[in-house]
Amino acid sequence: MHNPIVSVAFEKNTGKIIAIGPGLTHENKIDVSFSEVAKFKTGEASKLDYCVTYDIADKNYKIIKKEEQTKITANDILYEIQKTDNADITVVQNKSKKRWEVILDKQTQHTLQKNNFSSQQKISFSVTALGDANILYRYMSIDFNELVKKGQVEIDFIMSFEKQETRLSIYTRKIFDTYSYEVIDEV
């Protein structure tokens, strides 16, 4: 059976579905297979119970039930960043420049910019004793939109442990799929 592509127009800030149909020219729209929206056309489901949201982990817009927007796991709330290759976000403790650097992967940045992604939220990082989220040394927060715009945000060191050989862990709320923590020692 033929499964045509249809457009789903939505409000950028809320994700509210405005219209569904072939070839819509709305500024904020996604194209999906008809099978994804057939339930709205048949009356099996109401588009009022669904919204369009950008899934940062999948780097894609999706139609989801509104109640699924708030499903989070314990690991999403307190995620320990490890060294990882090709991470979406890299947190660098740059001892030679005496600053933290939060770097957004170029491809992830391009995808977010291409999709006009905008969010009023902050991305926060907890600097703790190695492997122990209960011993907080420093809390840092950056503007998400600034990171998407610039690709990198710097935060100056303000405490002596940041320059020393103290072994640390970095925790964050997991928004992206992959993160990495790196240390650049003084040269």
pLDDT tens digits for range 100-134? 999 999 999 998 887 777 777 889 999 999 999 99
pTM across the whole model: 0.70
Angle at CA of residue 23, ends 18 and 26, nearest 5°: 40
pLDDT at 36 over 70: yes
CA end-to-end span of the chain: 64
The per-residue pLDDT for 1 is: 55
Kindly tell me the sign of the dihedral angle through the C-alpha atoms of 140, 146, 148, 152.
negative
| The pair of three-digit structure tokens given for residue 182, joined into one six-digit string | 């790196």
* CA dist., res. 100 & res. 140, Å (int): 9
The per-residue pLDDT for 75 is: 59
Nearest to 163 by CA among 94, 102, 83: 94
The per-residue pLDDT for 69 is: 65
Element (H or E) spanning 111, and its range? Answer: helix 106-114
What is the mean predicted confidence (pLDDT) over 50-55? 84
What is the mean predicted confidence (pLDDT) over 3-23? 87
Average confidence score pLDDT of the chain: 88
Q: Taking a C-beta distance cutoff of 8 angstroms, is the pair 11, 19 a contact?
A: no
